[in-house]
Structure 1
């Protein structure tokens, strides 16, 4: 990945965004809103016919073309089966992926609605039914260019990233590294028998939209090959009785559509640990982006790393109790 390409991505302007969309034959009014996204650059644009689209410009170096097209294929597979998602529009020439000065982008229709702050019992059951339908479609084909959500990638590889960037303070480095390796050792056997398939990968309330026609699933940017329980545990939330009730309601709806292997709930705590390490490595990889330094001003301080180590050790202790 060239330095010039990265600098162009950091310096994307509304004018360049509008030009890219208009090259696809869609005339814009010039009105736009920058949408919240650290990983990509995402804009809502008004078209001259009064409709709105969302243009997503992909961060260079994260996904290659085939990985992005895996996401697009999943979304189009879901749309074909009338599952509520935001699939990419076809651009000129029939492709879903465009490029401007080396930066890839896609365009989808804007969907109006409200992000749910909470769900009642019936809404949790409905979420479970919808998620089961997504997973049924996810089984229909592979996504070979996407990562596998397993301990080797989310723990071992991410630890390599942290060590390569040399950002771990001496005061926590040894304990942090030891904790990750023990998490890896305890987690790996639990993944030996689990089936991997296409999943959303980052399924939580912030990636859902309540609309008059139903619940829309947003932002498949983190889609992966992984165990389906990954798409449940973020919605389950807490480990207390209320979390167990949410889990049971979601699974009540889910199992009306497809079977769920309850033994895979044992993967929730390993997946939680893997997400913690992956999040830290993500911050490290993106630290040269000016937006990250503004959004995470305390990252990299000794106090930040002390909190990260404490949280990781607490998670490790939970895993010791389970394995």
Structure 2
């Protein structure tokens, strides 16, 4: 089964109150950007982001930028700064990652109650999951990222705790009253089985390191180079601490044979720069279950935001929850199989 969610997930403990960006109008956006002596000469192109508000533009200095306005109260200032500092650390060590622009040493700015930052706009093609050459290059990139990130730790960012994340999200959905009455028994019974099956694979014997955290194809750009093409990481908004496999498993799709080939290719590239603990392979399906459940929770927690009701109108429908019952059954089945294993 393939289940790649291309939207950020939120901590199950997130208690962000109802909020929308209705006051973030074009004039305020332009005033915020110009407060840093950057002057747009093009219009603002809204990019595909629901958690935050993100716009691309060309400035009068000839450069293209992306401005990002953070959803209030989701992350603390310290957590946002760690996001910026982590991306900057990678960039400073010639690792392909996009870090925010700094103004007098400061990357996180505030304007009329909104926190924002500016990034250089980076071009590139979409990363192709079925291209083994690209997967090997990505493995090399992630090996370099993790070799550096393992040298220190986050102080403020969250840490993946599969058991707590699954159980807390389960309780939130149970209290949300979003699941139709006629589906509740089947949904929560199957969900509980999926969680129990996930926890059978979970141990705490893995090394916890700093991670990109949301490493899917939408957050990887493929850039042509003079000698060879390269992958570049963008959007560290969900950087987190946890097992290294979290930054690799979302690259796996298709049947079991295809996933083993993809994993083998990633690890081959990765281990040119850092050894990989293969015991973490048993966490792939529990992490997939975690992402499934936290995606549902993310939508539930954000449902009062008008942007979510416009763009995810299918969420509050019987059909959606019927599909989730089937998806949970499929994931439970995947958890019954032996973890992926390489032939060496």
TM-score between both structures, scaled by the size of structure 2: 0.87
Q: Whose helix fraction is larger, Structure 1's or Structure 2's?
A: 1
TM-score between both structures, scaled by the size of structure 1: 0.92
Matched, 1:47 2:59: yes
Q: In the aligned structure 2, how far is the partner of 1:175 from the partner of 1:61?
A: 35
Deviation at 1:98, TM superposition (A): 0.8
Aligned to 1:107: 118
Aligned to 1:307: 323
Matched, 1:29 2:45: no
Matched, 1:85 2:101: no
Q: CA RMSD in A?
A: 2.1
Aligned to 2:6: none
Structure 2 residue aligned with 1:262, among 269, 278, 284?
A: 278
Matched, 1:155 2:166: yes
- 2:16/2:73 contact within 8 Å kept: no
Aligned to 1:164: 175
Matched, 1:202 2:208: no
CA-to-aligned-CA distance 1:207-240 (integer Å, 9 cap, x gap): 1111234221111111111111111111122233
- 2:57/2:64 contact within 8 Å kept: yes
* More contact order relative to length (CA 8 Å, sep ≥ 6): 2
Structure 2 residue aligned with 1:291, among 287, 292, 307?
A: 307
- 2:128/2:134 contact within 8 Å kept: no
Q: In the aligned structure 1, how far is the partner of 2:100 from the partner of 2:263?
A: 31
Structure 2 residue aligned with 1:175, among 169, 174, 186?
A: 186
- 2:87/2:97 contact within 8 Å kept: yes
Q: 1:144 to 1:187 in 2, by over 3 A?
A: farther
Q: In the aligned structure 2, how far is the partner of 1:318 from the partner of 1:98?
A: 45
Q: In the aligned structure 2, how far is the partner of 1:27 from the partner of 1:303?
A: 46
Number of paired residues? 320
Aligned to 1:76: 88
Q: In the aligned structure 2, how far is the partner of 1:314 from the partner of 1:155?
A: 17
Q: In terms of mean alpha carbon deviation, does 212-221 or 243-252 score higher? A: 212-221
Deviation at 1:118, TM superposition (A): 4.3
- Unpaired runs of 5+ in structure 2? 1-14, 340-344
Q: In the aligned structure 1, how far is the partner of 2:321 from the partner of 2:16?
A: 31
Matches within 5 A, 1:213-224: 213=225, 214-224=230-240
Deviation at 1:299, TM superposition (A): 0.8
SS at match of 1:10: coil
Aligned to 1:274: 290
SS at match of 1:201: coil
Matched, 1:66 2:64: no
